[in-house]
């Protein structure tokens, strides 16, 4: 199955995605970990994405986040980000669809969700 960037983001809309799991890589080389994708307008070139802000975390902090993620049983628990790490933050990224080079799904038992049959399908890539 092949998806466009827009189609992929539409599938991720209205879900809470754990930190360090879904990564947007931009053409500039910068990357961001997605927390939520807001509704994607069919005609808009730019989409709003809530991203995990990891800038204040060092390697020991990231290791702690990963350990605490291992104890998370439901994505609903991710709304209280202080429980994952007090330095973990979030921000809104408005990004042009044409600037997204790749989407990386890192392994996680919480993503993709298994509550929807279409979420269980393996996405190999997308077309821009």
Does domain 2-54+90-127 match CATH 2.30.30.100? Answer: yes
The pLDDT score that the predictor gives to residue 111 is: 61
The pLDDT score that the predictor gives to residue 56 is: 94
The structural domains of the chain, with segments of one domain joined by +, span: 2-54+90-127
Q: Please give the average pLDDT of every successive group of 10 residues along the chain, which has 128 residues.
A: 85 88 94 92 91 95 91 85 92 96 82 49 42
The pLDDT score that the predictor gives to residue 29 is: 95
pTM here is 0.81
Q: By C-alpha distance, which of 45, 37, 30 is closest to 15?
A: 37
The pLDDT score that the predictor gives to residue 95 is: 96
Structure tokens at 125: 């890539």
């Amino acid at each position: 199955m092949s998806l466009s960037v827009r189609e992929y983001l539409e599938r991720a809309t209205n879900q809470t995605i754990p930190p360090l799991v879904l990564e947007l890589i931009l053409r500039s080389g910068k990357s961001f970990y997605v927390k939520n994708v807001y509704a994607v307008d069919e005609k808009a070139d730019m989409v709003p994405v809530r991203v995990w802000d990891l800038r204040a975390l060092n390697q020991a902090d990231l290791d702690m986040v990963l350990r605490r993620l291992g104890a998370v049983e439901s994505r609903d628990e991710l709304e209280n980000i202080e429980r994952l790490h007090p330095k973990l933050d979030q921000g809104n990224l408005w990004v042009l669809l044409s600037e997204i080079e790749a989407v990386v799904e890192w392994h996680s038992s919480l993503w993709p969700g298994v509550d929807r049959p279409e979420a269980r399908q393996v996405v190999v890539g997308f077309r821009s």
